[in-house]
Amino acid sequence: MSSQTFELLILGSSSASPTSERNPSAQLLNIAERYFLIDCGEATQIQLRKFKAKFQAIDHIFITHLHGDHFFGLPGLLSSMHLLGRKQEITVYCPAELKEVMDLMNKVSDTHFNFTVKWVFTNNDKLNLIFEDDKVEVYSFPLKHRIYCTGFLFKEKPLPRKIDKFKLDKHNLSTADIPKLKNGNDVINKDGVLIKNSEVTIAAREAKSYAYCSDTIYYPEIIESIKGVDMLYHESTFLNDKKDRAEKTYHSTAEQAAQIAKAANVKQLLLGHFSARYGDLEQFIAEASPIFENCLLATDGKRITI
Amino acid sequence: MSSQTFELLILGSSSASPTSERNPSAQLLNIAERYFLIDCGEATQIQLRKFKAKFQAIDHIFITHLHGDHFFGLPGLLSSMHLLGRKQEITVYCPAELKEVMDLMNKVSDTHFNFTVKWVFTNNDKLNLIFEDDKVEVYSFPLKHRIYCTGFLFKEKPLPRKIDKFKLDKHNLSTADIPKLKNGNDVINKDGVLIKNSEVTIAAREAKSYAYCSDTIYYPEIIESIKGVDMLYHESTFLNDKKDRAEKTYHSTAEQAAQIAKAANVKQLLLGHFSARYGDLEQFIAEASPIFENCLLATDGKRITI
């Protein structure tokens, strides 16, 4: 009956150029033991090993856009999955051209994976449901960057109600009633008596959500898609001292990320995709927190329970 | 008058799949301050930073073949060179299809480097001179692997003779005579007297050479190309316990590498490209040294003065 996992592992927090401390973009999100890899910058497979993440448990990879710092690690990761014996299908959600890249990589290296790569090409027109199972939904939505780019929204489905096992006996209920109770239904017990759901169950915690927005210029149009999420990752490549540069390169500052977080009424803001020029990342918190207090830094290896 | 540099830095010593200790193939060779990058597996740019190598001093990159563990780091390295302000031309010596890959990478990411990439496509028919300047020559030569693959041979040109400065005065010579003397010529001094070269100069050390052979099956045809080199890097993906597997995958064992080193009468053998299955690398030395004693292990971060 313990609550399901919703945990994020930061694999890379740098922008275009890696530093000795920060790898390019990649995150591993575990929702109910579904492992979602979000972006896959160079050396993501090395970071996965370093932080002892479940390599082959990843069945879904989400690529926001085709700047190298967000996908140069994909060919190596898929190759290693193949070499290490993977047979299980993997789905890649991405801009259509990424398949061309992988096809050419496999052609020149005469590589034939022993598993299927299923390609789901994103659209950046509106909020689109791109994955769904019994516990999780994933959506893509448009960001505004120099090239085609989408964000991703990960949402738990409402969690089943929790059952008080002692009360099952007390009310003379059978285990066959459990699924109905979990879904919130009343049931008839072995004696033919109606048992109200609220007498034997308690509500589970609220379903949680995580939104990933990188890379993007300050773009209030995303607010509608990410409203009220438990955690928002919003890129903050620059500080306000480089606001002009942020605009010119279609990136955001920490202040702008905080403005989006506030307007979208999210619960927590995670800052990342830091330019290599910044050594002391506390400056990002100092800039964002006067506008949106509950903010934290993405740093390589950090694990966050959402 | 100090002797010129001939130094190797190992950036990656793993075969196809990296491990927590070993990155995929890459080496940086410095001959007389020419920096030659040999192979460029994933995360080579990260290794270059880690080992504080001169990133932008690399003007020549040599790629043996298009298995991912030998080139997946190239797009990221070139991108970072661009982002960090490179203007200087770089030359890539490689199989022709690598240009296709880079062109597609740059197309999908809308990237336009501020420097020229000059492509020199290798042939794997015979020993071919592919680079030459006043101090160094580089050759490619055929290896035998599952796909098209070449090795590379790096040779210093004969080093200029060293001049004994005290004797210049003694023999009443002018500084204008220095270049002639360095090249081994006799000269006429200020008094019109013939001064024999051997009276004022001493021979420099012998020119050195380094051969890089990865990936290849045991292939005695390479011996002619690498005869007598000061150091031979020969892949030893496997130990003899996996000799069948080595043959099947067109790789070599440590014993086979030693046999090649012995037959080619090289001075030192450097073993590398180790399969991820092996933890204790001393086994490779134990297997090779009874056949060829002077052997050592390529391990990430090792610097070797040849």
Q: Residue B270 domain-assigned? A: yes
Q: Which residues contact B62 (CB under 8 A, 6 or more apart)?
A: B36, B37, B38, B39, B92, B93, B94, B138, B140, B152, B212
Sign (positive or negative) of CA dihedral A221, A227, A233, A237: positive
Q: What is the DSSP string of A271-283?
A: EE-B-TT---THH
CB-based contact, A19 to chain B, within 8 Å: yes
What is the DSSP pairing of strand B128-132 with strand B136-142? antiparallel
Q: In this structure, is the dihedral angle defined by the CA atoms of residues B172, B177, B179 and B185, taken in order, positive or negative?
A: negative
Question: Rounded to an integer, what distance in angstroms lies between the CA atom of residue A60 and that of residue A57?
Answer: 9
- The pLDDT score that the predictor gives to residue A124 is 87
Which among A69, A177, A215, A230 is annotated as catalytic?
A69
The 8-class DSSP code of residue B52 comes to: T
Question: For residues B37 and B59, what is the distance between their CA atoms, to the nearest angstrom?
Answer: 8
* Chain B contact for A96 (CB, 8 A cutoff): no
Token pair, residue A79, equals 């190759």
Cα gap B130→B120, rounded to integer Å: 8
Please name which of A162, A234, A155 lies closest in space to residue A197, comparing C-alpha atoms: A162
Between CA B136 and CA B109 the distance in angstroms is 36
- Lowest mean pLDDT: which of A33-37, A165-169, A213-217, A258-262? A165-169
Q: What percent of chain A has pLDDT over 70?
A: 99
Please report the pLDDT score of residue B169 as a whole number. Answer: 82
Query: Which of A174, A202, A230 is at the close of a domain?
Result: A202
Number of domains in chain B: 2
In a domain, B1, yes or no: no
CB B269 within 8 A of CB B232: yes
Contact present, A6 and A208 (Cβ < 8 Å): yes
The pTM of this model reads 0.93
Enter the tokens of residue B261: 């080193």
d(C-alpha B177, C-alpha A135), whole Å:
84
B109 and B239 both lie in a single domain: yes
Per residue in B195-211, pLDDT (tens digit) is 999 888 988 899 999 99
- Which of A25, A66, A109 has the most B C-beta neighbours within 10 Å, making it the best mutation to test the interface with B? A109
State the pLDDT at residue A71.
98
Tokens 């905080």 locate to A258
A57 lies in a domain? yes
| Residues B11, B45: Cα–Cα separation, whole Å | 9
Are A40 and A174 members of one domain? no
Query: Is residue A109 located within the same domain as residue A72?
Result: yes
Q: How confident is the model at residue B1 (pLDDT cuts 50, 70, 90)?
A: very low
Q: What is the ipTM of this complex?
A: 0.92
Determine contact, residues A139/A124, Cβ cutoff 8 Å.
no
Tell me, yes or no, whether B183 and B59 share the same domain: no
pLDDT digits (tens, 9 = 90+) for A87-127: 999 999 999 999 999 999 999 999 999 999 999 999 989 99
pLDDT at residue A48 above 80?
A: yes
Write the CA distances from A28 to A44, A48, B162, B189, integer angstroms. Answer: 10, 9, 60, 75
Write down the number of H helices and E strands in chain A: 10, 18
**Cβ within 8 Å, pair B104-A100:** yes
pLDDT of residue A168: 82
Question: What are B277's two structure tokens?
Answer: 């299955």
Measure in Å the smallest separation between the Cα of B302 and chain A Cα atoms: 18
Query: Going by DSSP bridges, is the β-strand pair B295-297/A209-213 parallel, antiparallel, or unpaired?
Result: unpaired
**Do B150 and B200 touch, CB atoms closer than 8 A?**
no
What secondary structure does DSSP assign to A122-156, as a single string?
Answer: --SSS-EEEEE-SSEEEEEEE---SS--EEEEEEE
User: Mean pLDDT, to the nearest integer, of A22-27?
Assistant: 97
Distance CA A72, CA A25 (A): 10
In a domain, B292, yes or no: yes
How many CB atoms are closer than 10 A to CB B142? 21
Cα distance between residue B251 and residue B285, in whole Å:
17
Residues B149 and B97 in one domain: yes
Query: B72, B81, B84: which to substitute to probe chain A, counting the most A Cβ within 10 Å?
Result: B72
pLDDT value at position A1? 39
> Mean pLDDT, to the nearest integer, of B45-53?
96
Residues in chain A: 306
Q: Element (H or E) spanning A48, and its range?
A: helix A44-50
Model confidence at B2, pLDDT cuts 50, 70, 90, reads: low
For chain B, give the number of residues: 306
Considering the domain architecture, whether residues A176 and A239 belong to the same structural domain is answered as no
- Check whether A39 has a pLDDT greater than 70: yes
Distance separating alpha carbons of residues A81 and B18, to the nearest angstrom: 11
B268 lies in the same domain as B288: yes
* Band of residue A2 on the pLDDT scale cut at 50, 70, 90: low
| Cα distance between residue B119 and residue B269, in whole Å | 30
Q: Is residue A86 part of a domain?
A: yes
Q: Say if A186 falls within a structural domain.
A: yes
Mean pLDDT of the B103-127 span: 96
Segment B273-297 shows an average pLDDT of 97
In a domain, B147, yes or no: yes
Same domain (yes/no): A71, A110: yes
- Assign residue B232 the CATH number of its domain: 3.60.15.10
Tell me, yes or no, whether B32 and B78 share the same domain: yes
Candidates A11, A23, A46, A249: best to mutate against B (most CBs of B within 10 A) is A46
Chain A residues with beta carbon closer than 8 angstroms to that of B16: 79-80, 83
- Is there a domain that residue A1 lies in? no
Q: Are residues B62 and B178 in the same domain?
A: no
- Does residue B70 or residue B170 have the better pLDDT? B70
Mean pLDDT score of chain B: 95
Same domain as A60, residue A151: yes
Q: Which residues, at least 6 apart from A179, have a Cβ–Cβ distance to it below 8 Å?
A: none
Picking from A202, A232, A255, the residue at the C-terminal end of a domain is: A202
Can you give the pLDDT at residue B54? 86
B179 pLDDT higher than 80: yes
For residues A186 and A54, membership in a common domain is answered with no
pLDDT at residue A156 tops 60: yes
**Range from A187-191, A267-271, B55-59, B244-248 carrying the lowest mean pLDDT:** A187-191
CB contact under 8 A, A68 and B111: yes
As a whole-number percent, the residues of chain A with pLDDT over 90 amount to: 85
Convert the pLDDT of each residue in B251-283 to its tens digit: 999 999 999 999 999 999 999 999 999 999 999
Digit-coded pLDDT (tens) for A103-113: 999 999 999 99
Shortest CB distance from A75 goes to which of B23, B72, B100?
Answer: B72
pLDDT tens-digit readout, A273-285:
999 999 999 999 9
Whole domain around residue B99: which residue ranges?
Answer: 6-159+204-305
Q: Taking CB atoms and an 8 Å limit, are A50 and B110 in contact across chains?
A: no
Annotation marks residue B69 as catalytic? yes
